Structure formats: C-alpha cells, structure tokens
Amino acid sequence: MSSKDDPKLQARRSFLTRAAGVAAAAAGSVISPAHAHAPAVGEGVAHGRHPENDIESFWGSHQAGIATPQQRNVYFAAFDLTTSERADVIELMRSWTSAAARLTVGAPALPINPDPEAPPDDSGEAQGLAAHRLTITFGFGSGLFVKDGVDRFGLNQWRPEAFIDLPRFPGDQLVAQRTGGDLCVQACADDPQVAFHAVRQLARLGSKVAQIRWAQAGFLSIDKHQPSPRNLMGFKDGTMNVPTANAVQMSQHVWVGEEGGWMKDGSYLVARPIRIALEHWDRMKLAFQEQVVGRHKLSGAPLGKTREADPIDLDAVDGDGNPVIPENSHVRLAAPASNEGAQILRRGYSYDNGLSFIAERWPPWHQGMEFDAGLLFMCYQNDPRTGFVKIFEKLSRFDMMNQFVTPVGGGMFACPRGAAGGEYVGQHLLEHA
C-alpha cells in the first residue's frame, strides 16, 4: 500500500491542512493573532472549507460574541473550578484561549496527534464543517473571587464594584443545578454541532481543574424576510436593542471603561434561562397578548403604531384618556425612558428542552407533560447595577408577562477584554500585580 493510499496518513494530512491557517503557531500554547490571520494554505482551504466570511475573528480588544451579529445557535455552559491554585486557572485560561483561537477558524481544538494509541485530541464531530461564524466568549463568575466566604485565588481585591451578586428577584425559581458557576463559556455559531463541539472540547481540556455545572443550547430563526427573530411567544424580539455598530452607544451601555481596571473593554453578562408557559400563553386572546407585550404581534409595531421601527410613544392615550401602551406592559417597563435611560444589549436565544411535568398555577389547573421551553435570556452591559438589575427590579414586580415566564437559573459573569497577540483571556486579572 503506498502512502497515498494509507488512510491513517490521509487522515493526518487532512487534519493538518485543515489546521493550516494556525499551524505555524500551533506548537505554542497561545496562538498569536498575526499567525492566526496569516494566509492559509493547503487543500482544505483550496476546497473552500473556510471562506473568510464564515470566520469571526477571535482576537481583538473586545471578546467576540458580544457585538458580533447574532448567530443562529448557542451552546452556553457554566463551570465550577475544582482547584485552589491560581496557576491552574492561568493554565486553564491559556489553554482555552489557544483552543478557542483554533476552533473559531474551523480547526480542531488541539493540533492533531496522529498516534492511534492515544485518544484523539479532538472528538471530531466538527471535522469537515466550516467555522460557521463560531465565537467563544469567556466569563468569570463571582466564585472566582469569593466562594463560601473564601478568597480562593487571592483575586477578591480586584473584584470590580460593578460586579455585584445578582439579587433575588420576585418570581425567581432558580434551580441550583442550573444556576451559578465560577466560569462561563458562550459558544455561538450558525450550526448547532459546531457550537456544541466547541464547549465539549473546552470541557475536556479543562477537566482536571473545572467541572461543567450547567449548560443550555438555544436557537434563533432569522430569514431574509424576517430580520427580527420571533421568540416562542410569537412576538418579535430584539427590536430597540443597543445598535452594535454604534461605537458611542456601545461605549455608553455595553463596554466597560477606564473605571473598570482589568475589565476595561469587557462587559458583564447576565444569562438566565426563563421558562415560558407556552400552553398558558396560547390560550390568551390576541388583544391581551398584545397588551402584555405592548406591541402588535404580527408587525412588531408598538401599540398604536404601524411599523416595527416606530418609536414607542409612552404618552399616547386613547379616547378615554387611558394609555395606549399599558402601564404594566413589557415594553413600557423595559423602555429606557422608564429606567432613567438604562439600556442593555440583549443577545438571547429560544430554547426547548423537550417536556417536563408541570402543575399549572392557573385555570383549568391542568397537570401533565408540557413543553419545557422558553428563552435563554442573555444581555451585556458595562454596569449591571445600572443595567439589568435596574431594569429588572421594575419588570420583576410589575410586568404583566410575569404570569407566563419563570426564571429557572442562570447567573452573572464578568467577560474581560479580548486577547491580543501572546495574551490569554483574563490575563489582566489573573496576573494582576
């Protein structure tokens, strides 16, 4: 058998050419951006497997996956650290940074070791798939600073003031197994297997010092003629969001400034799976649904307006002098004008986890298997105190939507600035003087 026909050699060649774009720097544990962006060579690329427009750059002053136009799929995971050594956390973030740089260009998590007597370094289910705009965004939970009263890694002195613990909100029914985490990974891609694959490789790379705690996949459906996705309530979601292309507004609401120290150019993520009682919602009259949301269901226009992009007129009244947009409607309570200008960058996904047994708390008091589905709410902001917490304190008390939605888990994570050449994500915190 010639080497041309040896399947093992063929396999190796293909894996190697696939990784060609980053191969030059692959020997080190951190890939520099210059290398990652070097022109790729080899048959994998010649065959068009990695068109540039399928790749979102991992490197930069901001982590990708925040301002990045939203992909179709997310796999979100939170991890608990099982080590008490800061050096282990440094090594973890170093290896995760390196792997993320490789994965986001469509390469395997590690350079392939062709030894058949070793476990494959990459589980392989994304082999042959394009990068699909994969972004991997890392965040730190409060447990990195203090857990059970202990400053485990000597980092608590650098915990930013803005990084508060999320308060308990009315209506929260947080399940421990879906809540918290010392670290988080948000993997977004235009393919669900690519997103899952990324987190799976990171979980494995970190398995000696980090245990995966909870995870949630999600999806978002956009078509050419439906640029605003609809959530599972059937309403358009994402209208009136912070415009990611507007640097001024991103600075104002999303990116942390100088005051944040090592968090400068980072952002705080609040991620909460929120179950929606779909069967209950579906029994509501159209007019009531629209009153709850404050928008027309089909067009997405604010009540009393005709187009999705029309501004919300909170002062409009009907012939009887009643507000056109109800006092306790979702859009009114969430509007910047109702929250002293507070705005957050929403970046959520719908989820479905099959069915679970539900005892309804409303007529007809049905009990049985119902859809375990809803919204993986995710939002980014430069200060949660004046962002999510400020807005949600009001929403959690007064929003008519609350009778249909239940936060069941989640947490807050500090997503540091992006990595530049030779750096790893989180270096400015973990190697603080």
CA distance 238 to 313: 18
Cβ-count burial of 227 within 10 angstroms (0-12 exposed, 13-18 middle, 19+ buried)? exposed
Task: Check if the beta carbon of residue 390 is closer than 8 Å to that of residue 381.
Answer: no
| Residue position matching structure tokens 């190796």 | 12
CA distance 152 to 164: 18
**Minimum Å distance from CB 304 to its own copies?**
8
Smaller CB separation from its own copies, 187 or 254: 187
Smaller CB separation from its own copies, 61 or 353: 353
CA distance 94 to 367: 49
**Minimum Å distance from CB 5 to its own copies?**
5
Smaller CB separation from its own copies, 30 or 45: 45
Task: Check if the beta carbon of residue 301 is closer than 8 Å to that of residue 308.
Answer: yes
Smaller CB separation from its own copies, 207 or 246: 207
**Minimum Å distance from CB 186 to its own copies?**
15
Q: For residue 54, what is the DSSP state?
A: G
**Minimum Å distance from CB 268 to its own copies?**
24
Smaller CB separation from its own copies, 168 or 224: 224
The gap from C-alpha 35 to its chain's centroid, in whole angstroms, comes to: 27
Query: What does 235-302 look like in DSSP terms, one character per residue?
Result: SB-STT---TT-HHHHHHHTS--GGGGGGTT-EEEEEEEEEE-HHHHHTS-HHHHHHHHTB-TTT-PB
The SS3 call for residue 397 is helix
The gap from C-alpha 134 to its chain's centroid, in whole angstroms, comes to: 12
**Minimum Å distance from CB 245 to its own copies?**
23
The SS3 call for residue 353 is strand
**Minimum Å distance from CB 316 to its own copies?**
13
| Residue position matching structure tokens 């909100």 | 169
Smaller CB separation from its own copies, 167 or 227: 227
**Minimum Å distance from CB 408 to its own copies?**
12
Smaller CB separation from its own copies, 62 or 296: 296
Task: Check if the beta carbon of residue 315 is closer than 8 Å to that of residue 294.
Answer: no
Smaller CB separation from its own copies, 168 or 225: 225
**Minimum Å distance from CB 217 to its own copies?**
6
Smaller CB separation from its own copies, 269 or 301: 301
Task: Check if the beta carbon of residue 204 is closer than 8 Å to that of residue 211.
Answer: no
Task: Check if the beta carbon of residue 144 is closer than 8 Å to that of residue 183.
Answer: yes
**Minimum Å distance from CB 403 to its own copies?**
15
